[in-house]
Amino acid sequence: AQSVTQLGSHVSVSEGALVLLRCNYSSSVPPYLFWYVQYPNQGLQLLLKYTSAATLVKGINGFEAEFKKSETSFHLTKPSAHMSDAAEYFCAVIEGGYQKVTFGTGTKLQVIP
Amino acid sequence: DGGITQSPKYLFRKEGQNVTLSCEQNLNHDAMYWYRQDPGQGLRLIYYSQIVNDFQKGDIAEGYSVSREKKESFPLTVTSAQKNPTAFYLCASSLGQGRNTGELFFGEGSRLTVL
């Protein structure tokens, strides 16, 4: 079964600093990888999706992620953090004949003014 | 606007009571899902349905039941058999039926607290 691992349950960055949230997938190459964002007491919203068309994927709100097969990674980055980026971020993978999406345990991003 | 509506947003239940969480979508999606969210554990799949009148257990189905009588609706019942039901419950949908790209559309969630 496919799985993803998120390193770091909490990450703090200063406003304007680089954001790096880590995600590693299981050894077999998944068809799709995702990053979702969740603001407090809300549902999740898709940030970006990897579909094998391009290894560097650009998403909403200035976020992007790079698929690296050699490192089995799909880390999320943003060059300059904004206060509004404070939220919880989830990496996810599709499996089960495209029927099931499995989520990582999430990383809470704190942005310090 | 198309989307997913979950109700109620907050729900309190006494131990031993069953409770049903509503999930309705007007996106014309075939597939619907229920996830449970607990702090530090991410989202765990309870049940999912790819088509009307059919559903499959997810990773933590014990103590829960669902039905899919209509394409638009996928209610979740938390039964008294669920040992630790206090959690945030999220309903989601996707295109499904061979069109699935994995992108999920989520409702706003229902927070269940057992007193």
* B1 has a pLDDT exceeding 70: no
B88 contacts on A by Cβ (under 8 Å):
41
Q: What is the pLDDT of residue A101?
A: 86
Q: How far is B30 from chain A (nearest CA, A)?
A: 11
Alpha helices in chain A (DSSP H): none
CB–CB of A102 and B45 under 8 A?
yes
Contact (CB, 8 A) for A87 and A42: no
Contact status of A74 with chain B (Cβ, < 8 Å): no
The per-residue pLDDT for range B11-49, each reduced to its tens digit, is: 999 988 999 999 999 999 999 999 999 988 889 999 999
pLDDT average, residue stretch A89-97: 83
Higher pLDDT, B112 or A32: B112
Q: How far is A104 from chain B (nearest CA, A)?
A: 6
The per-residue pLDDT for range A12-43, each reduced to its tens digit, is: 999 999 999 999 998 676 778 999 999 988 89
List the structure tokens of A32: 């799709």
